Structure 1
Amino acid sequence: MNFNNILTETKNSITTITINRPKKLNALNQDTINELHHAFKDADLDGDTKVIIVTGSGEKAFVAGADISEFADYTVEEGEHLAANGQKILFDFVENLSTPVIAAVNGFALGGGLELAMSCHFRVASNNAKMGLPEVSLGVIPGYGGTQRLTQLVGKGRAMELIMTAGMIDATKALGFGLVNHVTTQEELLPLCEKIAGKITKNSSVAIAEAIKAVNASSKDGVNGFEVEIKAFGKCFGTEDFAEGTTAFLEKRKADFPGN
């Protein structure tokens, strides 16, 4: 598929997806959301891709928010559909991918931008990054999962304050809150993400996919995460990766996982 708003590159089993609307600070319009869906889906289905990194073009913004001009005159019903459709095709979709997704937050991650970063499996930020959910300053609330994922990541009190004040926090505070895993310079952001991704690629992609399901189950209402873990654990015993991993361990060599 040809993309107008994003760039993709695959190298060393890592697919990097770059949101490429620098004049709009990489704001998410509907076309970009649809393109991201297809790019993530393609990468997830690509047998050569073991990790996905998503970032923004330029040095100012990861994603500075949603493209407000697209929905400023929406009705109640249109607003509900906008949120439901966006969550389904991108934000929930990314969270539940079987391929690990790292957000390389290289500047402003506001509104939908922070929601996209939070839907990724974890986040690494440059030291110039600024994060926030400013939606209430527009008379609306986060609609792409922001109220839920921010609470899960930083706790109810901090989430309430950030959302109610429509404020921004810097990378250092985001690290202290547990919103990001690492902070580094702009120049070292992608190299650090690639280094972490490289470590991930050495492990069993089958086991990692099951681990993602089990971890995600911990935050789903009505789902017993322990039961999901037990079933996922047992499922791993029937894989070629498990046979290779245990054999390699007993033979004191590095495993060469077949990925099934």
Structure 2
Amino acid sequence: MAYETVIVEIDEGIATITLNRPEVLNALNSQVFIELGEAAEELSGDESVRVVIITGGDKVFAAGADIKQMASATAVDVSTNVRPSLRTFNFIENMHKPVIAAIAGYALGGGCELTLVADVRIAADNAQLGLPEIKLGILPGGGGTQRLPRLIGAAKAKELIYSGDFISAEEALRIGLVNKVVPADQLLIEAKKMAQKFAARGAVAIQMAKTCINEGLQMDLDRGLQYEHKCFSLLFATEDQKEGMKAFLEKRKPNFQGR
């Protein structure tokens, strides 16, 4: 499918979605959210795709929402228009494939919130992340007040949200907001290396592990452990489990088929 605001490329089981509004620093508007969601759904249903990378390229990830579109909005407008972003974020967060955010330059507001729905975040050393909505008299409305505290803890999340300050890639790494910091010219190379590592693992097991983690975060420990046990048991009905253990005993690399 052809898109205007995102570019989709697939290479050896790894799909890369690149935000494509460079003239406005990849500002996120309703069209971006709709097309991003459609691309994610298309890739989710593509059995040849094992891992998805979301990036804005090597200059900027996304400098936030399109303020021109928002400035004259009413409460009713916002309630209606925010639905595509929430639907897209929720879908990406829970899609049955690993998602890596490759972050260069600014990842602010909705751009930062988009990185939060990825499973792993790799930042270029020139990245700056933040939720500056408070400076506009609003709050993060794309999941920032919910996902950020779960990721880095409530106290640090409150500091970032209340101040609206930007933080560097190194500070983001220190507080656990990103997993890794790399030189800017190595960002996509490193993201693809990690994607290749994930792609070589059992796709069904990764899907189950992702579901266990995401669902378990909404449960108390006892229910989470019960859910994990159920998923663990179900994996013993898969071909990948048989292949993985057979390969281990035969001292060779497994050839997982995602079944």
TM-score range, shorter chain: over 0.9
Answer yes or no: is the 8 Å Cα contact 2:34–2:84 preserved in 1: no
* Structure-to-structure mapping, 1:12-27, within 5 angstroms: 12-27=12-27
For these two proteins, the number of residue pairs brought into alignment is 258
Q: Write the deviation string for residues 86-130 of structure 1: whole angstroms up to 9, x where unpaired.
A: 212x11111101110000001100000000001101100000000
What TM-score do the two structures reach when normalised by structure 2? 0.96
Q: Write the deviation string for residues 135-168 of structure 1: whole angstroms up to 9, x where unpaired.
A: 1111111111011111011111110010000100
Q: Write the deviation string for residues 53-89 of structure 1: whole angstroms up to 9, x where unpaired.
A: 1100351x1010011222222222332333344212x
Q: Distance in 2 between matches of 1:219 and 1:144?
A: 19
Partner of 1:159: 157
> How far did 1:32 drift?
0.7
Answer yes or no: is the 8 Å Cα contact 1:66–1:113 preserved in 2: yes
RMSD (Å), alpha carbons: 1.4
Partner of 1:232: 231
* Structure-to-structure mapping, 1:33-182, within 5 angstroms: 33-59=33-59, 61-88=60-87, 90-182=88-180
> How far did 1:48 drift?
1.1
Partner of 2:213: 215
Q: Secondary structure of 1:140's match?
A: coil
Structure 1 spans left out of the alignment, 5+ residues: none
> How far did 1:227 drift?
2.4
Answer yes or no: is the 8 Å Cα contact 2:50–2:199 preserved in 1: yes
Q: Distance in 1 between matches of 2:74 and 2:226?
A: 41
1:187 to 182, 185, 188: 185
Q: Secondary structure of 2:237's match?
A: coil
Q: Distance in 2 between matches of 1:204 and 1:234?
A: 15
Answer yes or no: is the 8 Å Cα contact 2:10–2:16 preserved in 1: yes
> How far did 1:43 drift?
1.2
Partner of 1:11: 11
> How far did 1:194 drift?
0.7
Answer yes or no: is the 8 Å Cα contact 1:51–1:201 preserved in 2: yes
Of stretches 50-59 and 185-194 in structure 1, the one that deviates more from structure 2 is 50-59
Structure 2 spans left out of the alignment, 5+ residues: none
Q: Distance in 2 between matches of 1:77 and 1:167?
A: 29
Q: Distance in 2 between matches of 1:127 and 1:47?
A: 33
Q: Distance in 1 between matches of 2:163 and 2:233?
A: 46
Q: 1:160 to 1:203 in 2, by over 3 A?
A: same
Answer yes or no: is the 8 Å Cα contact 1:22–1:58 preserved in 2: no
Partner of 1:244: 243
Q: Distance in 1 between matches of 2:219 and 2:66?
A: 31
Q: Secondary structure of 1:63's match?
A: coil
Q: Distance in 1 between matches of 2:48 and 2:72?
A: 43
